[in-house]
Structure 1
Amino acid sequence: MKKKYFFLIGLIIVVCIAYLLAPGFPEFFTTYYNQRFYTFLDQLLHTVTNLFSFSLGDVFYAVIIVFVIYKIVMLIKKGLFRKLSFFLMIAIASFFGIFQLFWGFNNYKYSIAYQLELDRDYDMEDLKTLTNKLTMIVNHQHLLITGGSLQKVVIEKDLELFNKNAKLNYAKLPDHLKKILTTNKINNVKPSFYSALQSYTGFSGYFNPFTHENQVNIQIPTIGMPVTVAHEMAHQLGISSETEANFFGYQVLLQSENVKFKYAANLYALKYCLKQYRNENEETYQLLFNRLNVGVQQNILESELFWQSKRNISSYFFKHLYGRFLKINNQKDGIQSYNKFVGLLINYNKKYPHH
């Protein structure tokens, strides 16, 4: 049998292991894959990708997409449909096989809730308590920064500062959170070449699982950028779940000595709480929204208006597509996993009230 067939079979076996067997072995993927193989691979990639100020992964994606399209067109022109089928099988199996080996197996680790022995559920009283607490904190921090209730908080777009702040504050996390992460050097988050595309498809940033680079959509309102930077770094440190990456993004910014970054973190969490209310009752949401300082409201509306101005049919298509991708990679809530952040935060605060 030709070598290429062995290669294809090997890739298919890896993919099958990932999607059929991996969910049954969280201990293995937590202890051996995440803390050993993945850690070693990430250190290796860190050495290479940090030689470049731009996103090597963005270039890699462009080259691969152009090559695949070119190959498909040429094979169709020549009528080589059998070769085309084999090429597509190799391409798909390679994508999923390499994805799993390089990062995807992190999806099968024990969750934060399991490792910290947190409850999973919460009720409306819990949500009310957290929302009230965050409302008071956000209003207070807003007044400290602006000196008045009417002016929105402005954070200058300084990716170098956001990177420095996030890396510094990952080191300040409490030990029970640090032990969940890998101990690797953190890659700087780079501006994505595809920021405009990400804006129209509804994404603030992304982690490249093949090069382990972190990218941010440089077009998003700056108030959300520090949290996004910390969120993407969490993915590099072995956090696959969007819920947990949101959680780490929030916790990291809370460690900051810069009150603007603390404000950005608490505003981020508050917006998720308000979204839960909005999903239930628009009138209740509006009452809660009206309790915020006018400047805080402006910060929230600034983000909402930005995403509304970019929303189109591709936003829904790519969100749905990404949601399906998350589900087949052991994130059962799909795109809704972003919203589980509130439950994780509530139950974490119950167990660790002083962190």
Structure 2
Amino acid sequence: MKYKRVKYIRWAVLLLLLAGVGMCAKMPGAGEWYAREVYPYVSVMLSGVASVVPFSLCEVTVLGFVLSLIALPFWMRKHQAPWGKICVREVEILLWVYVWFYWAWGMNYFRDDFFTRSETERVAYEEVRFRQFIGQFVDSLNAAYIQDASLSEKEIQSGIKAIYRQVPERFGLTLPKDFQHPKRSLVNGLYSKVGVLGYMGPFFDESHVNHELLPVQYPFTYAHELSHLLGVSNEAEANFWAYQVCVRSENKFVRYCGYFGLLPYIYRDAYRMLDKADFKEWANRIRPDILRELREKEVYWNERYSPLMGAVQDALYDWYLKGNHIPSGKKNYGEVVGMILSLPENWWQ
């Protein structure tokens, strides 16, 4: 009788949590309420637990769930449980994983979009403004160029966190904590093969960075992943914050990394928007040292990349993003330029 009571309570809690996920997904404002009023406390608690161990607690948790789903049918059949009961238990485990993912971090996908929170409107493409922006961008990129600086990862992390603490409150980002440090994946080589430079571990609110990153990639990638930990789910917005935070650094190398991290998106948009002659003229303004570093980066990662595994990962992640209120899927990464152009010059104040 006691076991049945516990089972009913367990399922009642599970159904309530599922209802909460559905409410945040469908009810306007509910996702933003979660991001501002619930997530800051949840993230501090979970990332605080994760900070105790040097490895990725999220990856260990996922592995534990997978092994449980595989082993449970054998264990229950050994104890003569019917297949119907086994299926119900497997479904229950999957539902707990689902609610853990969303209540721990995933409901940030349901918050108000960047333009609503920034109190701006998405601007239509204007050729004059775009040309002005990419011209200024190249000037700033060239001026910031510096070869590898002697900064430790801890110094980079500390400086970037300090700038994130200055982000205007209307954007609704949580404040980074000193104990929140990026983890290294237990299967880092696999992420390199599929072109993943970092990712957000949702079950314990852990950011992860690929430990094969080139020095010029580390500040931008770390700032991108940290923004996810601070409540940003949109990949374009994560690129936006990585750029904005890095270029505001007092350290010239970190500033250069901010411009360098945004360069591929600017380069792609310029190639699409300008005619061939204008694009060539613009591209020729970029310092040869920077273009060489960009090519070396591409060669470096191509040597580690598996086309087959990368294609599978791209398809799965595209499907995942589209299923979480990001209709453009993986193309969302490149929408960062539109965000930059939509804001007035004094938006940070």
When the two structures are superposed, what TM-score results if normalisation uses the length of structure 1?
0.84
Shift, 1:116, TM fit? 1.7
Mean Cα displacement is larger for which, 9-18 or 111-120?
9-18
**3-state SS of the aligned residue for 2:199?**
strand
Partner of 1:148: none
Contact 1:43-1:184 within 8 A present in 2 as well:
no
- In 2, Cα distance between equivalents of 1:207 and 1:105: 13
- In 1, Cα distance between equivalents of 2:69 and 2:272: 41
- In 2, Cα distance between equivalents of 1:5 and 1:200: 45
Matched, 1:337 2:329: no
Label 1:8 to 1:176 Cα distance change in 2 as closer, same or farther (>3 A).
Answer: closer
Shift, 1:257, TM fit? 0.8
Alignment of 1:187-202 (within 5 A): 187-202=180-195
- In 2, Cα distance between equivalents of 1:49 and 1:267: 31
Mean Cα displacement is larger for which, 243-252 or 9-18?
9-18
Aligned letter for 2:136? K
Question: Could you say what the CA RMSD is over the residues aligned between the two structures, in angstroms?
Answer: 2.9
Partner of 2:222: 229
Shift, 1:23, TM fit? 3.9
Alignment of 1:128-277 (within 5 A): 128-142=131-145, 145=146, 153-155=147-149, 158-171=152-165, 173-176=166-169, 180-183=172-175, 185=177, 187-277=180-270
**3-state SS of the aligned residue for 2:69?**
helix
The superposition leaves residues 221-256 of structure 1 with CA deviations (integer Å, 9 ceiling, x where unpaired) of 221111111111111111121121111111111221
Aligned letter for 1:132? G
Contact 1:57-1:208 within 8 A present in 2 as well:
yes
Contact 1:157-1:222 within 8 A present in 2 as well:
no
Partner of 1:315: 310
- In 2, Cα distance between equivalents of 1:184 and 1:140: 30
Unaligned runs of 5+ in 2: none
Aligned letter for 2:69? V
Matched, 1:304 2:298: yes
When the two structures are superposed, what TM-score results if normalisation uses the length of structure 2?
0.86
Shift, 1:71, TM fit? 3.4
Mean Cα displacement is larger for which, 325-334 or 115-124?
115-124
Contact 2:161-2:176 within 8 A present in 1 as well:
no
The superposition leaves residues 168-196 of structure 1 with CA deviations (integer Å, 9 ceiling, x where unpaired) of 2223x34356x521235251112222221
The superposition leaves residues 180-221 of structure 1 with CA deviations (integer Å, 9 ceiling, x where unpaired) of 212352511122222211111221111111101111011122
Contact 2:164-2:175 within 8 A present in 1 as well:
no
Label 1:303 to 1:74 Cα distance change in 2 as closer, same or farther (>3 A).
Answer: farther
Percent identity over paired residues: 23
- In 2, Cα distance between equivalents of 1:313 and 1:287: 36
